Amino acid sequence: MDVFLEVNIMDIKNKVVWVTGAASGIGRATAEMFFQKGAKLLGTDIQEELGKEVVAQFGERGLFIKADVTSTEESQKAIAAAKGKWGSIDILINCAGYTRTYPVVTQDGPGPLEPFVKEINIDLIGAYDVARLAGFEMTKNKPNDLGERGAIIQIASMAAITSNSLISGYATAKAGLVHLTDILACAYADYGIRCNCILPGYIRTAITESPEQNPFIDISKDIDFNLFPKKVGEPDVIASACVFMVENTYINKTGLKVDAGFKLRS
Ligand SMILES: NC(=O)c1ccc[n+]([C@@H]2O[C@H](COP(=O)([O-])OP(=O)(O)OC[C@H]3O[C@@H](n4cnc5c(N)ncnc54)[C@H](O)[C@@H]3O)[C@@H](O)[C@H]2O)c1
């Protein structure tokens, strides 16, 4: 009997992958994992020195451009540089993110507005802008045998679903990003471009290591790692989820929780 195998896996080898926030944490791990799969990497970040260091590992298959996701002009320059070198943008993994802890209210008055606005600007509007620009570039790609032209992954957060009051702008932006994923998946469907998001739980990166950014001061008190594994995640668990969601061409308009089933106590 013949065994018939239908191949529905996007081949990452030689694809041009744009990773925002590539200088650190999840973005760095994701860029490194896509490189291992044979991709060409456009890394962007506001941290120039670190970003260049990461991308230097990739030799001719790497390009770092300093670009803030809140600047359309800088994102366009990064896209132009990658297209000049390799001719296309095939995949976007949007990892750039910003958070601060601050109260909504204190006995002395209302909490600050500025960090809320900054979080919405970077984590939601910036994420929309890079997807808008990269998605348009993908529409120009020659479709593969499946009719696929590209894939977009937004890094959202479990804060979109469950949060505490110290990260109001961040959690609101990430909830918006989950909804935006659905909208982008619909918008790009006719062009053969999938859009998905990942909701990481608690991952060891600069964000969770910093008291100004981390809303869970004492994780043993605030977070219940009650299933398996009972521990903080490492960035590579999110990187490998990105690879899986890009490779599997039947995953679209989906948010994947990668959090070991943790629960917040507060
Ligand atoms: N670490 C976690 O537990 C966790 C949980 C859920 C979601 N996330 C999300 O994962 C993504 C990556 O964060 P991380 O944990 O790796 O933290 P990180 O601080 O290590 O990485 C974030 C990167 O984004 C860059 N960045 C910040 N603002 C930017 C801007 N305006 N333009 C371009 N780059 C900018 C930073 O310079 C940094 O290199 C973020 O979107 C974050 O919200 C992280």
- Give the pLDDT confidence of 141-156 residue by residue, as tens digits: 999 989 999 999 999 9
| Binding site membership of 157 for ligand 1 (Cβ less than 6 Å) | yes
Q: Are 181 and 191 in contact (CB under 8 A)?
A: no
| Binding site membership of 246 for ligand 1 (Cβ less than 6 Å) | no
CA of 145 to the centre of ligand 1 (A): 35
Residue 100's pLDDT is 94
| Binding site membership of 233 for ligand 1 (Cβ less than 6 Å) | no
Q: Residue 247 CB: number of other CB atoms within 10 A?
A: 15
CA distances from 127 to 10, 90, 104 (A): 23, 17, 24
Residue 249's pLDDT is 96
The residues that bridge with 45 in the sheet, in sequence order, are 66
Residue 37's pLDDT is 97
Closest listed residue to residue 133, CA positions, set 177, 172, 77: 77
Whether pTM exceeds 0.75 = yes
Q: In the chain, what are the domain boundaries?
A: 16-264
Would you state the structure tokens that stand for residue 48, as one six-digit string?
A: 């120039």
Q: Whose CA is nearest to atom 2 of ligand 1?
A: 203
**Residue of 26, 28, 45, 216 with the most ligand 1 atoms within 8 Å of its CB, for mutation:** 26
Would you state the structure tokens that stand for residue 190, as one six-digit string?
A: 């006719």
CA of 56 to the centre of ligand 1 (A): 20
Burial per residue of 30-62, b for 16 or more beta-carbon CB atoms within 10 angstroms, e otherwise = bbbbbbeeebbbbbbbbeeebbbebbeebeebb
Start-to-end Cα distance in the chain: 58
Q: Residue 240 CB: number of other CB atoms within 10 A?
A: 14
| Binding site membership of 171 for ligand 1 (Cβ less than 6 Å) | no
Closest listed residue to residue 242, CA positions, set 102, 66, 32: 32
Domain 16-264 coded CATH 2.40.10.10: no
pLDDT tens, the chain, 266 aa long? 456 656 789 999 999 999 999 999 999 999 999 999 999 999 999 999 999 999 999 999 999 999 999 999 999 999 999 999 999 999 999 999 999 999 999 999 999 999 999 999 999 999 999 999 999 999 999 999 899 999 999 999 999 999 889 999 999 999 999 999 999 999 999 999 999 999 999 999 999 988 888 877 678 888 889 899 999 999 999 999 999 999 999 999 999 999 999 988 86
Residue 35's pLDDT is 98
